[in-house]
Structure 1
Amino acid sequence: MAARRLRRRLKKRTRRRLQGWGAVATVAAVVWVVGHWSVVWPVLVSVLAVAALGGAGWPLLRAHRRAVGQDRAWRVEEEARARELSMAEVDALSWQEFETYVAELCRRDGCRDVVVSGKSGDLGADVVGYLADGRKLVVQCKKYAPHRSVSSQDMQKFVGTARLEHGADVALFVTTCRAFTREALGLALRQDIVALHRDLLGSWVKGAHLETLIPLNGSGGGTKRRPSA
């Protein structure tokens, strides 16, 4: 009990000393400010002004960010609408005409010696040519309705022939539908097949260069970049 009372007295004494030193420090600070008011007041006014401007500027910054976000969303929507308008003519093509059109896009982007198979039994090589840097390009074209998806079976057939049968350096699977199934896209990514769904094809139709689309392999179009196997 005696030890406990001693500890309480020591705590009270320490607290009183701290309060006393705090009061002394406060008085000293006040005295110093009064004595140096000509130096302190410009700094104080600047701090208050910055705080006021910050408080007023934050709503403006938020409004700016919101406007930028809305503008970006509008641009994305407009670009998607423009792609769909450009794809309307592609949708009207037969599958043979679609293969010929893809070959024309390849030539437009500097590919040489581009030929179209135009027949069944071509083992997935609907269009064959060479990129500007000399790499051999082999293209599989699938003219599907927009709501369909490229299946894993479709992709497996192309994987099995693109390089082994045709010696492709760049194997390109182009379709008019919106997506590849999860399994098909996963297989394409693992086997280094460039998957161009409807959105990427729409960009190609509108003027995007093939070389810029290849790195986008399967991105967008409602599918994830790295699906699981």
Structure 2
Amino acid sequence: MTVPERRVRDRRARRRFDLRATTVTFGLAAIALVLTGWVVRMAYEVAQRRPVWVFVLVLGAVTAVLLRRRARSRTTTGAGAAPRTTDALAAATATALDELEEGRAAERVEYARGEEATAVLPVGHEELDPDEFEEAIADLCRRDGCARVEVVGGAGDLGADVLAVAPDGRRVVIQCKRYSEDNKVGSQDLQRFGGTCFTVHGADLAVLVTSTDFTAPAADYAERCGILCVNGERLRDWCAGGGPAPWELPGPGRDGTDPSGRASW
């Protein structure tokens, strides 16, 4: 009896082109490529900024390889050498991590010092624009214990640039005048500030701070109205900590009296 020969179908012939599977494959490959590139880039940047981290990672990888070999090692010589090498690498890794932590702590201290110096010590008032000058004065208020310090200078500020509450509870209203060296604060500036600092802003202590100085008529008006004037020289002393803050002085009151006998600090 003749058995008919069965035709073997070629499985490859039945395989069709699957557009969806191909798209997903290429998409996953693209994502993997992007992630790989991102990881390599991050590793390169970390290696530039933190070379110690690279050293630590290499030590960790070598330690892991040696531990794995130690687990598979059956010879006495290999079992004795691997622990010693592993212990040495572990000690080196711990030392590197300690040094890294000390370095990061030192960087944090230096950064904090730099931030404090930048915030409360305006280097050369002429290098600051008016907005930066106001921020510097606000930082001085925060440094010396004021609460609720707020920079409100700008259009429609009605003469107030910085608002704060002094440590003794008084409401402090400050106007800031960052002028060039040959430009002094005149009486018109004091008059505009004097018309709003008490009646509008409810100041217990009104202070006008300038990077330069005041004209004689301006100082006279400030004395009559009870406005405390801080010129550039006094401001530098305040910044450096060599002079007290305005609210620490027995300055003029709202009634125009001046227990200290002076209106300009």
Q: TM-score, normalised by structure 2?
A: 0.47
CA RMSD, aligned part only? Answer: 2.3
1:210 paired to 2:258? no
Q: How many matched pairs?
A: 135
Change (3 A) 1:212 1:171: closer
Q: CA deviation at 1:140?
A: 0.3
Amino acid paired to 2:239: V
Q: 1:143-158 residue pairs with structure 2 within 5 A?
A: 143-158=178-193
How far 1:209 moved relative to its partner?
Answer: 2.9
CA drift at 1:92: 0.7
- For residues 175-229 of structure 1, the C-alpha deviation after alignment (integer angstroms, 9 at most, x for no partner) is 001x211111001011110000111111111113304764478xxxxxxx589xx
Q: TM-score under structure 1 normalisation?
A: 0.54
Q: In the aligned structure 2, how far is the partner of 1:119 from the partner of 1:211? A: 23
Rate the CA distance shift 1:196–1:139 in 2: closer, same or farther, 3 A: same
- Counterpart CA distance in 1 for 2:239 and 2:136 is 10
Tell me by how many angstroms 1:158 deviates. 0.4
Structure 2 stretches lacking a partner, 5+ long: 1-120, 253-261
Matched to 2:223, the amino acid is L
- Partners of 1:191 and 1:159 lie apart in 2 by 7
Question: Could you say which residue in structure 1 is the equivalent of 2:214?
Answer: 180
Q: Deviations over 1:15-74 (max 9, x none)?
A: xxxxxxxxxxxxxxxxxxxxxxxxxxxxxxxxxxxxxxxxxxxxxxxxxxxxxxxxxxxx
Deviation by residue 1:52-110 (Cα, 9 ceiling, x = unmatched): xxxxxxxxxxxxxxxxxxxxxxxxxxxxxxxxxx7643321110011011000001110
Matched residue of 2:234: which SS? helix
Residues 204 and 213 of structure 1 are in contact (CA less than 8 Å); yes or no, is this contact kept in structure 2?
no
Listed one character per residue, the Cα deviations across residues 125-145 of structure 1 (whole Å, up to 9, x for unaligned) are 100010001100000000101
Local SS of the residue matching 2:218: helix
| Residues 110-169 of structure 1 deviation map (CA, whole Å, 9 limit, x = unaligned) | 000000013122011100010001100000000101222101100000000000000000
Is the CA contact (8 Å cut-off) linking 2:172 and 2:206 kept in structure 1?
A: yes
Match for residue 9 of structure 1? Answer: none
Aligned to 2:205: 170
Q: 1:95 aligns with which of 105, 118, 130?
A: 130
The corresponding residue for 1:139 is 174
- Hey, what's the Cα distance between the residues in 2 that align with 1:138 and 1:199? 20
What is the percent sequence identity of the aligned residues? 42
Structure label with greater radius of gyration: 2
Q: Distance in 2 between matches of 1:167 and 1:98?
A: 23
Pick 1 or 2: higher relative contact order, CA cutoff 8 A, min separation 6: 1
Q: Distance in 1 between matches of 2:156 and 2:146?
A: 24
CA contact (8 A) 1:174 1:201 kept: yes
Q: Compared with structure 1, are the counterparts of its residues 226 and 110 closer, same or farther at alpha carbon in structure 2 (3 Å cutoff)?
A: closer
Any residues of structure 2 matched to 1:1-229 within 5 Å, and which?
88-177=123-212, 179-207=213-241, 208-211=243-246, 214-215=249-250
Quick one: structure 1 residues 104 and 226, their matched pair in 2 at CA, closer, same or farther if it must change by over 3 Å?
closer
1:195/1:213 CA distance change after superposition, 3 Å = farther
What is the CA–CA distance in structure 2 between the aligned matches of 1:212 and 1:142, rounded to whole Å? 19
SS in 2 for 1:165: coil
